[in-house]
Structures are given as structure tokens and as C-alpha cells.
Structure 1
Amino acid sequence: MTIALQTFNLVKRFGGLVATNDVSITVEKGARQALIGPNGAGKTTLINQLTGVLAPTSGRIELEGRDITSLSVHERARAGMVRTFQINQLFKELTPVESLAAAISERDGLGARFWRALGHRGELMDEVAALLEQCNLVDAMHRETRVLPYGKQRLLEIALALAARPRVLLLDEPVAGVPDGERREILNTVAALPDDVTIVLIEHDMDLVFSFASRISVLVSGGLLTEGSCADIARDPSVKAVYLGEELVGSDHV
């Protein structure tokens, strides 16, 4: 087993509140792992610790065996850990082509000079085209992001994350707020993400979780309740009691 991401006894306290409590999670390389739990379970706090937004009160985080606990957000991104957000964070006045060209240029150290690269760096535009195709954005490539349907904006956020060439990708509720008619495109894109990218999915949508993940970690009250396969989690009475309720009873997930 090759480990991509691992936490060791992560604790985060805010005064007297313990938001994450002794959380140890192991994610294998190439895994499709989901992180679920009720509101207030500590999911966002855990993800913020993984990505460097919050420093843990105690504990350790390793990325492919390297201790990254003290690294900044940008240093972790350069090391290969990339995150999408529950609420997308995009350049509203740019088109998908321009946004992806900017992201790739920043990754390659060109920074603001990406405008000069447009149309002049064949390999950059080839990569942009591949990402547009992969994330179903070809039909929207020249439209300003602000006028795109919300589902397309979420797809653009996934494309931008892939442009960073992540080794571990954290998908934070990729279908949150997306109308039902646009969700299938996102589900298909997520399902087709490259096998060599390790993915941790944070999600409330159980259809997405069970169609995508091969392993599920369940957080409750800041602690890790249980982990296991989709079948194990669907049948676990403690999970049903604290989170899933009757949702899975009699469903295809059991």
C-alpha cells in the first residue's frame, strides 16, 4: 500500500470547543475516498487543516510521506495538494480559456505574462484544450465566467484544480447549489477524473458519494466514527443513527 495522505491524531481547539478530536485518516494513492458527516461534524475544519488554512492545535499531516504540517497553503499546493471550494472562487470577467491559461502560466512561473502566451505557446493551449474537453467546457470556452450556468462554473473550478497538476485533490461539495438538470455533467466529470490523482470527496449528496467513492470516512462531533467500504457504511447502524437516518434503508446502496 502506498499512502498519499495521512493524518495523525489531529486536534483543533477554538477555546473550549474541540472542532477536530484525535482524527487519524489514511488515504491510499489513487484512492477515491469520501468524507461525510452531519453539520458540525468537523469536516470543514479538517479540510482547512489539511490545506493549511488552519494550523492544528496538535497532530501531524503527511503528504506522500512528507510532513507538511507547517507548510503554507501555497506551499502545499506546490507540493501537490489542491482543493476546490464549496462556494466557487473564480475570475468572473475571464472566460474559461483565459482562466485556464492564467492558472497554467502561474503554475509554470509566467505569472501575469500569460496574456502574451495566449496563442503563442502551443503546449499551453494544447493543455487548455485538453482540460476544456475533459471538463465539458468546450461549448462555453469563450463566454465570460459570470454568465455561465452554475454547473459550468463548478466544472471550471474542477478544471482549474486539475491545471495545478495535483497528486491529491480535495473536492469540497462539487454539486452544492447546482440545479438538478446540471448535476449529471458534474457527476460524469468527477467519475472520469484521472486514476493517478488521489481524490478525497467532501459531500452531502449520497448519490454522488456512493457512485464515486470506494472508501468512506465518517466524522461525528469532531471525531472519526468509522471507516469502510460503501457497503459497510451503508449497513452500519451507528452511521444510520447519527447521519444517514432512514435514507439508505431499502435503497440500492445497501
Structure 2
Amino acid sequence: MSTVLQTHELVRTFGGFVATDHVNLAVEAGARHALIGPNGAGKTTLINLLTGYLEPTEGRVVLNGEDVTRMAQHERCRRGLVRTFQINQLFADMTVLESVAMAVAERHGLGTRWWKPLAAQAEAVDEAAQILQRLGLLSDAYERTRNLAYGRQRLIEIALALAQRPRVLLLDEPAAGVPTSESRELFEVIAQLPREVTILLIEHDMDLVFRFAERISVLVSGALLVEDTPEVIARHPRVRQVYLGEG
């Protein structure tokens, strides 16, 4: 498999504090890759460096063979690197279909025409409906976002990300704040996404991580401790000590 997202000796400091410490990460095309570590390990900082929200102090970020280290967030998004956030960022008063169709229209450069009725945006609406069907959200298409259960709202955020047609999808704690019954459903939907979409996720629920991920990277104090299969990670003594709470 080819590598679609890679970091080379990536460093981010805040004053004298090293948040990201010479991280070399490689995510393969089509991967289901998880990034785990204790609180304060630097996981979200690393995601922010990958997406361009933060600039590194040292090192490089490479997307599909192209150095994007100094590239703006929207340019990385256009090249297929799309993220979700730990706290969802949705249009609460819009219907689910309106939200996703608007995201599709924005990708086509039609965002400034969004004042027109839905009927005038037929192509965007059709594509949005296909995305909703894939995520099991079509029955909620005409519901206002604020009226849906939180687990469904997290799916809407993923739908908005898919509207950008990502090649690499970064999920920052997609199950955060979601009840257990809904989080399992959420991950079942994520697991069914096509392999054309590479997934890198941060998640604290180890049961979900070990059922979903095929590759796991463990971050401790901003540095990459180990990367391997879930089976190896589960038995790794240092991981069990620093993350799973074993002495």
C-alpha cells in the first residue's frame, strides 16, 4: 500500500514546552488507523499540525507525496485532507439535508448562491441525499439538527466532512459525549465507509479503538512511543503502564 499522509521529524513547541516531539507518522492508503495516548500526550496538537491549524516548529507534513507543511487549511482540504472536531460544529437551525447540501455546494464553489431554494440546487441536494443514505441519516433529512440525538449529530458532522470528498478523514474523538449504545452504532457506520477514504482517528474508548483500528500509534508526552497492530499494542508492557493504567 502507498503512504497518503506522513510526517517527518515533526516538532511543535509552545515556549519551552514541547507538545510534539520529532514525530514520524505514516498512514497508508485505505487504512483504519488510530492515534491513542493519555491526556496531554499531544494528540490534538498533532492533528492540528496535520491539517494546518498550527504550523510546526520543525519538520514536514507530506500529503499524497506533496509537501504541505506551509499550506493553508483550505488548500489541504481541497487536496483531500478533511477533519472533524472533538466538539461538533453544526448548523443547529438548518435541516440535515440543508446542511450537507450547503457543504456540497461550497465544494463546487456555489456557496455564495446558497440563498436560492433547495430546489434550485438539484445536484447538490442529490449528492447530499446519497451521503445521508450511506450514513443511515436519510430518514432525518428534513429534521432540524438541534432536534436529533447527539450520536446522530456526530454522524452529521461526518456527513459534512464526506461532502468535501476526502481522501484522508481525520476524526477527533468522534464518540466524545455520545452514549455507549449510540457510539457503537456510530463506529459501525464509520467502519462501513469505502476504502477510498483513509481514516485516522483519535479516540479514548479503547473498546471502540481495538475493534475498529487495524493500526495503532501510541503518543506519550508528544513523542511516538510505538506503532503496531492492535494485538501487539494490547500486549505492549509500556503501553499498558502509561495508558491502560497497569503498573
TM-score by length of 2: 0.96
1:76 matched to which residue of 2? 76
Question: Could you tell which deviates more after superposition, 231-240 or 177-186?
Answer: 177-186
- 1:84-233 matches, within 5 Å, as 84-116=84-116, 118-233=118-233
Give unpaired runs (5+ residues) of structure 2.
Answer: none
Deviation, 1:141, is: 1.3
TM-score by length of 1: 0.94
2:156 maps to a residue whose letter is L
Equivalent residue pairs, number: 246
Describe the SS at the equivalent of 2:20: strand
1:153 maps to a residue whose letter is Q
Question: After TM superposition, where is structure 1 displaced by more than 6 Å over at least 4 residues in a row?
Answer: none
Map Cα deviations across residues 184-241 of structure 1 (whole Å, 9 max, x no partner). Answer: 2201111111111111011111121111110000000010000000101011011001
Distance 1:10 1:118 in 2: 44
Please tell me whether the aligned partners of residues 102 and 124 of structure 2 are also in contact (alpha carbons under 8 angstroms): no
Distance 1:167 1:142 in 2: 28
2:53 matched to which residue of 1? 53
Distance 1:126 1:46 in 2: 35
Question: Between the two proteins, what is the percent identity of the paired residues?
Answer: 61
Distance 1:184 1:2 in 2: 30
Deviation, 1:84, is: 0.4
1:97 maps to a residue whose letter is L
Please tell me whether the aligned partners of residues 33 and 215 of structure 1 are also in contact (alpha carbons under 8 angstroms): yes
Give unpaired runs (5+ residues) of structure 1.
Answer: 247-254
Map Cα deviations across residues 11-69 of structure 1 (whole Å, 9 max, x no partner). Answer: 00100100000000011111111000000101011011001111000000000100000
1:236 matched to which residue of 2? 236
